[in-house]
Structure 1
Amino acid sequence: MNANIQKGFTLIELMIVVAIIGILAAIAIPQYQTYIAKSQVSRVMGETGNLKTAVEDCMNSGRTASIIHNGSPANSTECSLGATASNIQGVTLAGVDGLPTVTIDGAANTASIMGTFGDNAASTLTTAGSNTLTWARTAEGSWSCSTTVDAKYAASGCPAS
């Protein structure tokens, strides 16, 4: 006797597998995009936070006139931070993309370091008005971090404002 022997999958079985893959993709892709955005906020927090030591050194040395991210200062009041460009920060300073904006107020003994998301950052971070991460130094010398990105993307040490 030669009975019908099933070879392969039926159409309904294949459709079920495709539906399951579609549902998993619909959940996984947005979660992955959120993960990427959060990791980029943490990266900019680290990149800008690393400059705090250089800013403190500049302030303690009385160098507050202008900021040089790479290279040597031309005079005794210029501050050299040694910062390198980032491909997810979009600020252009001195013709170089990806550098944070650093402001030192020697009279008030305060400073700020601001990174702006742009260039290759996740599209959810480059929305105008909600795309910065700022380190602020008080006159007493303590640093605090704040960001304007959505709270779900903010790093744990840098709350959204």
Structure 2
Amino acid sequence: MNRRNIARNVQKGFTLIELMIVVAIIGILAAIAIPQYQTYIAKSQVARAMGETGALKTAYEDCLNNGKEAANACDLGATSSGILTFTAPFTSTAGTALTAPVVNTAALTTTGTIAARFDGQAAATLKGANATITWTRSAEGSWICTTTAEAKYRPAGCGAAAGGGGGGSTPAGS
């Protein structure tokens, strides 16, 4: 055998040490990336919940403007969500008979609440903490979003609710 053939036989693959170093680097990166990804998922679910519950404000206001009590005489169109269970007003009454309309003579000064609890396929950190998201209507007609989710998951425009980890509530549109 000549020297050239011997040199080729020696350079055929990675050593065990090289492979172990690569596996260790991948392990370190995964240890950093997985928790960050889980935080990202929880943040996006809280923002999604803010949008889903906030979308009901228009139907709520429509009920009030038509002289009805939103919680008793209107179907706000709230449907099941993969991450939420509505707690106020209750889930949609579509397909069932509504109670007799209740006339609301003070529509412009009516207060109200749209609230939901994280459930179903929501992140474990949100479900385990029984986190909620709530829109509250003031007598002046403005809406304020609050959540009991941890501060690191809260979207801009949605402040801390009582027991939600500090901070104040932030007006988030009307």
* Fold equivalence (TM over 0.5): yes
Instruction: Please point out which of 8, 13, 27 is paired with 1:22.
Output: 27
Gaps of 5+ in 2: 91-103, 162-174
Seen in structure 2, the aligned counterparts of structure 1 residues 134 and 65 have a Cα distance that, compared at 3 Å, is closer
User: Residue 139 of structure 1 aligns with which residue?
Assistant: 139
- Between the aligned partners of 1:112 and 1:127, the Cα distance in structure 2 is 23
What is the root-mean-square deviation in Å for CA atoms of aligned residues? Answer: 1.9
Number of the residue aligned with 1:149:
149
Whether 1:12 aligns to 2:7 is: no
Q: Deviations over 1:122-154 (max 9, x none)?
A: 0000124x4100000100001010100000001
Q: Partner of 1:87: helix, strand, or coil? A: coil
Which structure 2 residues correspond to residues 87-126 of structure 1 after superposition, within 5 A? 87-89=82-84, 91=85, 99-102=86-89, 109-126=110-127
Cα distance, 1:65–1:36 mapped onto 2, change above 3 Å: closer
Whole-angstrom distance in 2 between the partners of 1:65 and 1:115: 16
* CA 65–22 in structure 1, closer or farther in 2 if over 3 Å, else same: closer
Q: How many residues align?
A: 140
Judged with a 3 Å threshold, the aligned counterparts in structure 2 of structure 1 residues 15 and 123 are, in CA distance, closer, same or farther, namely same
- Give the structure-2-normalised TM-score: 0.74
* CA–CA distance in structure 1, aligned partners of residues 30 and 128 of structure 2: 25
Deviation at 1:19, TM superposition (A): 0.4
Deviation at 1:100, TM superposition (A): 4.7
The residue type equivalent to 2:119 in the other structure is G
Q: Deviations over 1:30-86 (max 9, x none)?
A: 01100110010011100000000111111122211744xxxxxxxxxx112122210
The structure with the larger Rg is: 2
Structure 1 gap segments, 5+ residues each: 68-77, 92-98
Which one has the bigger helix percentage?
Answer: 2
Identity %: 61
Q: Is contact 2:63–2:70 with CA below 8 Å preserved after alignment?
A: no
Kindly indicate which of the two structures has a greater share of residues assigned to strand: 1
